[in-house]
Amino acid sequence: MKALSGKKILLGVTGGIAAYKAVEIASRLRKAGAEVHVIMTKAATSFVTELTFREITGQPVNTSMWDKVTNYNVEHIALANLADLVLIAPATANLLAKAAAGMADDMLTTTLLATKAPVIMAPAMNTNMYENPVTQDNIATLKRRGVMIIEPAAGHLACGAEGRGRLPEPADIVDYVCAYMGRTQNLAGRKIIVTAGGTIEPLDPVRYLGNHSTGKMGFAVAEALASRGAQVTLVAGPTFLKDPDAANIHTVRVESARQMREAVLSEYDSADGVIMSAAVADYRPQTVAPEKIKKSDDELVLHLVRNPDILWELGQKKQQQILVGFAAETCNVAEYACRKLAKKNLDFIVANDVSAKDAGFAVDNNRVQLYFRDGRSENYPLMSKRQLADIIVDKLETLLK
């Protein structure tokens, strides 16, 4: 079977001199087994003809929102939904700026905004344009949102300058795509439990103790696992997030720590691994008032009792399972995370400083350190939770081997 058999790749071509290399990219993608659909910007058509891509791909080529409709109902939405992956090569400075700003003023940017498929961009431009802080900021923004960037090569540019900005060789770009898509089935046959969100502990019929977790981190991990073929049980505390669409994610909704424990333990024996990103309440009110607690002039004292430590219990019962914990800290991050790693018998722990405004609870990004049981540690800068999820799943995959 070819590396990209059965995959539908949407190739976006923008208007730079490197657009001619996109023809070879389309050809190589097709030879690797992919069905290739091309969207060209208006500027790209000044460098290469639509006909060339149509002949190479055997598919209609889109160049405008106002083209005569061919195969699709609402063309940009259909293309956005159909793609398993969007590759933009070359991506000009203008395209990067528009994508970073969320603009949708042509077929390519509109489709880009509408797609949920993973996106890879290969920027190519003059060195000064590439190094301009505006372009670098746009690239950083796109990376934070999970766009994968293939860094341009250095060398002689069409404008006569020497430096970084050249589109990498088509073979290297297609290798990158194959490597990314090749990961897709690495976890087929593996069963992984993921926990997400916070637990809530009722006080009375209207009030509860809770925390700021939204489930974004855990849902991202579940999606990363599912995209590699794992069978995922996602045990989620209350969150506004909808059940993920993937057929291989089974979502179980719970509220309290004790419900989460039940749901995790019932799947644990047959699981290959557990990733606990949930913010589980350590304490719960000793009693739950049957009726709403009435306010009075006195102080209200709550008596709290310990909740089960789910991850500690999993660590005690551990057989074949790889155990991954999270540590939410506000100080002494390394020390506290390493203590949890040892105490809970984990394979590695993902530590995040939840006092940061731009990372941790509720936001789309995170900045973490990983601590492994053999003493190694790795630092990761701010990135999207989806990107981080892929890194965590890479580590899990290595340990499962």
Q: Annotated active-site positions, please? A: 159
Question: Nearest to residue 23, comparing CAs of 51, 46, 56?
Answer: 56
Identify whether 90 is preceded by a cis peptide bond (ω within 30 of 0).
Answer: yes
Looking at 81-89, 169-177, 240-248, 320-328, which segment touches ligand PMT (CB under 6 A)?
320-328
Looking at 112-120, 149-157, 246-254, 308-316, which segment touches ligand PMT (CB under 6 A)?
308-316
Nearer to ligand PMT, 203 or 310 (CB): 310
Nearer to ligand PMT, 2 or 212 (CB): 212
Q: Is 307 in the site for ligand PMT (CB under 6 A)?
A: yes
Nearer to ligand PMT, 128 or 332 (CB): 332
Q: Which of 107, 311, 323, 370 binds ligand PMT (CB under 6 A)?
A: 311
Question: Nearest to residue 341, comparing CAs of 317, 389, 375, 298?
Answer: 375
Residue 371 beta carbon to ligand PMT: minimum distance, rounded to whole angstroms: 12
Nearer to ligand PMT, 168 or 218 (CB): 218
Q: Is 237 in the site for ligand PMT (CB under 6 A)?
A: no
Residue 300 beta carbon to ligand PMT: minimum distance, rounded to whole angstroms: 24
Q: Is 200 in the site for ligand PMT (CB under 6 A)?
A: no
Amino acid sitting at position 353: D
CA dihedral for 33, 35, 40, 45, sign (positive or negative): positive
Could you tell me if 188 and 268 are in contact, meaning their C-beta atoms sit under 8 angstroms apart? no
Burial of residue 68 (CB within 10 Å: 0-12, 13-18, 19+) is exposed
Looking at 9-17, 25-33, 56-64, 360-368, which segment touches ligand PMT (CB under 6 A)?
360-368
Could you tell me if 195 and 251 are in contact, meaning their C-beta atoms sit under 8 angstroms apart? no
Neighbouring-strand partners of residue 162:
156
Site string for ligand PMT, 253-292 (x = CB under 6 A): ----x------------------xxxxx-x----------
Task: For residue 88, give both structure tokens.
Answer: 């933009």
3-state secondary structure of 75: helix
Q: Is 338 in the site for ligand PMT (CB under 6 A)?
A: no
Task: For residue 61, give both structure tokens.
Answer: 């080529």
d(CA 9, CA 118): 10
Residue 261 beta carbon to ligand PMT: minimum distance, rounded to whole angstroms: 8
d(CA 39, CA 123): 16
Binding site for ligand PMT (CB under 6 A): 197, 213-217, 257, 276-280, 282, 307, 309-311, 325-328, 340, 352, 354, 360-362
